[in-house]
Amino acid sequence: MQIRIRETDFTLLAEKALWRPDTEQLIIADIHLGKASHFRKAGISIPADSVLEDMRRLDLLMKSHQPKEVILLGDLFHSSYNREWHLFESFLESFPGIQFILVKGNHDILKKDRYELPNFSVMDTWEDGMFLYSHEPMEHADKFVFSGHVHPGITLSGKGKQHLSLPCFHISPKQAVLPAFGKLTGLYILDRNEKDNYYLVYNGIVRKV
Amino acid sequence: MNLAQTWFKQKGWKPHKFQKETWAAIKAGKSGLLNAPTGFGKTFAIWFGVIQHFYDHPKPKANKLHCLYISPLRALSKEIFLATNRVSHDLGLPYSIELRTGDSSMKDRTRQKKDKHQALITTPESMHLMLAAKGYREQFSNLAFVIIDEWHELLGSKRGVQIELALAHLKAINPNLRVWGISATIGNMEQAKDILLGPVSGHTEIIKANLEKKITINTVLPDEIEKFPWGGHLGLKLLPKLVPIIEESKSTLLFTNMRSQAETWYQQLLEQVPDLAGRIALHHSSIDFQTRKWVEEQLHSGSLKIVVCTSSLDLGVDFRPVDTIIQVGSAKGVARFIQRAGRSGHSPGEKSRIYFVPTNSLEIVEGSALKDAVRHQLIESRIPYVRSFDVLIQFMVTLGVSEGFQSESLYREIKTTHAFQSVTPEEWQWCLDFITRGGQSLGAYDEFHKVVLEDGLYRVTSKAIAARHRMNIGTIVGTSMMNVKVLGGKNLGTIEEAFISRLKPGNVFWFAGRNLELHSVKDMTAIVRASKEKNGIIPSWLGGKMPLSSQLSSSIRKALTHYKEGGKLDEELKKLKPLFELQQEVSHLPGNDELLIEKLKTREGYHIFMYPFDGRLVHEGMATLLSYRIGLLTPVTFSISMNDYGFELLSDQDIQVEELIDNNLFSDEFVYEDAIRSINSSQMAQRRFRDIASIAGLVFTGYPGQEKKTRHLQASSQLFFKVFEDNEEQNLLLLQAYDEVINFELEISRQQAAFRRINTQKIVVTYPTKPTPFCFAIMVARFREVYSNEPIEVRVEKLLKQIEKK
């Protein structure tokens, strides 16, 4: 699904990520790696399959789009350090020519030196031309803001007392909130308003509401 | 010396016939089941047999444990502890009794291990904890008796399975062990005895006390049925009619089915009858333990006029002053109704008196049905759990923690239990694999390598695993609860975390009979302060969704038929006459030989209502199964609602159910298979699996005081569920989850019986234009399930089309 923001084309991907063709940038929010191991450490044992699946999806996305740069909108890693971070490190190593930029989220609490990797940089927010990348949604006087954090979703209700809750992109005139990429994440159900646009993501489909 | 004779003479009492029979049976070396109600000396019936045996068989090892008394209720244990010690004291018998429950302090437990006493009163959980301690074989080596109190309560639960396992193991240590159970009347008395005793040496016997108390049942009826609501479950409408009943009684217990309902009733009673202040109290399982204890003490002393309560007061020590019971809403079962009625009228020669308060108009018919069922003593059976591999795995690790076990001999033991008699050698091997290597799918994770095999003995060698396991022993998995505490003050009780998490500081809610404002949340404690605001939210607790029993269901069908056939009407049916006439006019009033289906179109969509009168679980199962069968012919999404009388399939399309009926919609073939297929897409098995995973020790519920939030527990058990489904379809715990859903949540045998019955019934389809007295309550129900076999894309498009039209 194509949309235009500030005279720039963007593609909303059904993989719950955003693609900017002109600069070949991939934008992803809230992967929450390490959540499974985090639970396991706390005595709640989660089989690691779910983590691997997130990494697989990430890998596929990289291969299908071949980005030059990947912008991670925070909450990359769910918790304090655990073995799953290695998975991500070797993932980075397998894409040596690609720059990864993490704008830090509230969950990104790893020690600084963990982030010292060759093709990886970390900042609190990042400004790039007329765009600003941040973990939490925010208003900016003249820049358009991309963010995550919220895990936005929408509930559809209709006849026969039917309800469906699905993740979505939330695009308003001055900012865009991305759906959470990670599988082990919940949904925050939005109240829709007239001014904004909402794009549902489900089953490989992006659909405007 | 005959101890019983001496003691009864001392007291100037005369023993009951059943007591003498029991003493004789125990003397003759029998094991058995005593069927007696509370409050008639059932404990003494067993107890004098036990101490007489001790007296008659003096042994050099007289300072070893001679009798183990297991009671499911701590309150009762205390009572028995006092009574039995008094007997020893009166007779000057060197027979001392100790009490050990979850409440016992570490100090007490250590002392108990050292001190020599002859009997121990304990709970099923504490019993298993003892098996998790080194030296238990020695401790139990001289055991002559095990007494299981309230066996009817334990039988239908996994705690019953715990008992079966412990008994099998104790019998292996002491082949001459005698086992005695005490049980209230249930439908399957003979089976209850066989399960409890298992293969014991010597003869067995059921002794019946035949002392059932007389019960007076009254239904509280509205003056005008026309003004009485068709739906709802609170029943406050009839509150004014209860005031004179409460006033004229010495002391009243008012039972509701849900905690939230108890809170509402308490609040309303105080508001409408202000002079009850100081003489009314609230009692339910979320209220602080100390407060509950205080309420119980006040009940004993007779200083309370009325206590609003839930099943928290179903069992326990009798309150002599209580002479009246009020049951608000359906009692759901005959046994439960009788049990509750029996909480009143304990003074000699007194009757039990119970008032049934219907909460909606159709429920009035239950008053009529209950009277009939009580008259004919149609008491429900307790269905025992079988093949509860979670409990078995827990038990295996328990033995591993203490003295270890040998595979072959333990397999032989568990095969003697009713619960595990069908376990095959392969299944047993699976369990061994599971505790030693995490089975097929979890082998990679060390934390599931709990037990190791050393020299033919399975043992837990890690201290950390042993400590965790001891903390996890038990089969009752709670929902995550938060303490509620007054700012700078005392504990009020506990509330589901899910409720608190919906509140913001400053919000007002009603709990423990007070209006409270949430101040802050710290760890797992909600800090509150008193609020002056009138209206707070009342927390909704889980549970309270017990289904109507089949005994009561069939009594209701019988009452409707009786009415239709022009039989003599009792006051309930007389009152219902205008309502039934209306139902007959706008739709149809079904008799025993008919199944009524109503089709109705409203703004919400197309409704199909069916009324099998089989209880809500069977209805939920039938509704899902019929959705599945309809879905085979056409893609469809249903919103499903049900109550104890019928269910609704609500859809956005008109379903030609008439044609489907001719097409074998109600076929009684493949009910089991279709039920399994229809729940595949649902969440039921996953929900069941949460408890199973916790009992089997897959997920750790946390150290005391820092319990994990259940939300996380749920999340992780769901992941296990998925892993097992993807990689290990034959995982016994996974299969158990499905079996439990089939047997306990869908009540498959009742469902099959219902389908067979429907096939003999005439199906009547009506097309009312407005909601009928029958369908109204189902239609407005808030809790709904969804069944869908439409692709998600189609559902989204349909929903969006409706939204975009607006």
Chain A residue numbers with beta carbons less than 8 Å from the beta carbon of B796 are 156, 164, 166, 200, 202, 207
**Residue of B335, B342, B347 lying closest to B374 (CA atoms):** B335
The answer to whether the Cβ–Cβ distance between B715 and A42 falls below 8 Å is no
Burial B479-512 (b: 16+ CB within 10 A, else e): bbbbbbbeeeeebbbbbbbbbbeebeeeebbbbb
Residues 117-146 of A with CB under 8 A from B: none
- Domains of chain B in start order, with CATH, are 3-208 (3.40.50.300), 215-375 (3.40.50.300), 481-530 (no CATH), 587-806 (no CATH)
Question: Could you tell me the residue range of the domain that residue A18 belongs to?
Answer: 2-208
Closest CB from B716, B784, B796 relative to A44: B716
CATH of the domain at A182: 3.60.21
**pLDDT of A39 strictly over 60:** no
Handedness of CA B224, B229, B234, B236 (dihedral sign): negative
* Mean pLDDT in residue range B66-83: 89
| Residue A53 pLDDT level (bands cut at 50, 70, 90) | confident
Number of structural domains (chain A) is: 1
Closest CB from B699, B723, B803 relative to A156: B803
Chain B residue numbers with beta carbons less than 8 Å from the beta carbon of A161 are 604-605, 639, 650, 784
| Residue B681 pLDDT level (bands cut at 50, 70, 90) | very low
pLDDT tens string B4-20: 999 999 999 899 999 99
For chain B, say whether A90 makes contact (Cβ under 8 Å): no
Closest residue in B to A157 (Cα) is: B799
**Residue of B615, B605, B634, B596 lying closest to B773 (CA atoms):** B596
pLDDT tens string B86-137: 999 999 999 999 998 777 777 777 776 666 789 999 999 999 999 999 999 9
Closest CB from B447, B448, B637 relative to A162: B637
Work out the number of other CB atoms within 10 angstroms of the CB of residue A82.
18
What ipTM, to 2 d.p.?
0.78
**pLDDT of B715 strictly over 80:** no
For the entire predicted model, the pTM comes to: 0.78
Work out the number of other CB atoms within 10 angstroms of the CB of residue B529.
12
Backbone φ and ψ for B247, nearest 5 degrees, come out as -60, -40
Residues 652-671 of B with CB under 8 A from A: 652
For residue A96, the Cα-to-chain-centroid distance in whole angstroms is: 21
pLDDT tens string B625-677: 999 899 888 888 898 898 899 999 999 899 998 989 988 899 999 998 888 78
A164 and B610 Cβ atoms separated by less than 8 Å = no
Chain B residue numbers with beta carbons less than 8 Å from the beta carbon of A163 are 786
B233 and B360 Cβ atoms separated by less than 8 Å = yes
Q: How close A161 gets to chain B, by Cα (Å)? A: 6
pLDDT tens string A96-151: 889 999 999 888 888 888 888 889 999 999 999 999 999 999 999 999 999 999 99
* Mean pLDDT in residue range B416-424: 95
Which of A104-118, B481-495, B589-603 is predicted most confidently?
B589-603
For chain A, say whether B794 makes contact (Cβ under 8 Å): no
Find all residues with CB under 8 Å of B349, minimum gap 6, and list them. none
The pLDDT value recorded for residue A15 is 93
3-state helix, strand, coil in chain B (%, to 5): 45, 15, 35
**pLDDT of B581 strictly over 90:** yes
B253 and B606 Cβ atoms separated by less than 8 Å = no
Residue B71 zone, left/alpha/beta (φ > 0; ψ -120 to 50; rest): beta
| Residue B480 pLDDT level (bands cut at 50, 70, 90) | low
